């Protein structure tokens, strides 16, 4: 659906190619725009990537072991190269150096792995549920889009229906005229 891609583009999402050589400048420019953004915003990065497979898990475990990092069993250890926001934080509270960001990211994934281990063992995530504070902008955007699409669908069906009614009225009139002519001819 192209509309989703367009809305993501207009919302200034960062589109990546999964190649550091190509993505480094995109990320730096994007983060610079975010730094100067006048309003609070949400930034979600999925540093472990997508497509979790056993082969990728084994490769991540080998990487972690070779780098002296904790070896996880349920998540891929991220190979960080940029700033990462893992939870809801104020920008002033985030680590600033590359090494500190990388360590913060690894620590979060080790904690995530332990949480998944608990879930696998107990079928529960425990009592760590937190109120994320649903932003007002999200419902406003959803309601706006729903209203716009509903209004557009209403107008579309209204126009189509009026065209069909006009054509069916014209067709009915034509049939009556033809029948009247036939009756006049044979009377």
Give the global pTM: 0.35
pLDDT tier at 146, thresholds 50, 70, 90: confident
Cα–Cα dist 119/124, whole Å: 5
Sign of CA dihedral 39, 50, 67, 106: positive
pLDDT tier at 125, thresholds 50, 70, 90: low
Per-residue pLDDT reduced to its tens digit, 155-172: 988 888 888 777 777 787
pLDDT tier at 113, thresholds 50, 70, 90: confident
Structure tokens at 178: 């033809």
Residue with token string 């309003």: 39
C-alpha torsion angle, residues 173, 175, 177, 178 (rounded to 10): 160
Cα–Cα dist 94/105, whole Å: 11
Other beta carbons within 10 Å of 113: 18
Residues 12, 33 contacting (CB under 8 angstroms): yes
């Amino acid at each position: 659906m192209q509309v989703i891609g367009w809305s993501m583009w207009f919302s200034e999402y960062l589109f990546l190619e999964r190649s550091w050589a190509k993505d480094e400048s995109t990320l730096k420019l994007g983060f610079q725009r975010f730094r100067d953004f006048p309003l609070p915003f949400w930034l979600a990065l999925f540093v472990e990537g997508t497509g979790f497979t056993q082969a990728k898990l084994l490769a991540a475990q080998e990487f972690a072991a070779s780098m002296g990092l904790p070896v996880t069993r349920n998540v891929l250890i991220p190979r960080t190269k940029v700033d990462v926001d893992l939870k809801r934080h104020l920008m002033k509270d985030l680590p600033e150096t590359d090494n500190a960001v990388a360590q913060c990211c690894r620590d979060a994934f080790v904690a995530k792995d332990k949480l998944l281990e608990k879930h696998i063992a107990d079928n529960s995530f425990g009592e760590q549920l937190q109120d994320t504070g649903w932003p007002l902008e999200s419902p406003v955007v959803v309601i706006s889009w729903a209203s716009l699409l509903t209004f557009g669908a209403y107008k579309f069906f209204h126009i189509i229906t009026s065209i069909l009614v006009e054509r069916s009225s014209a067709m009915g009139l034509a049939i009556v005229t033809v029948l009247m002519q036939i009756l006049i001819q044979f009377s």
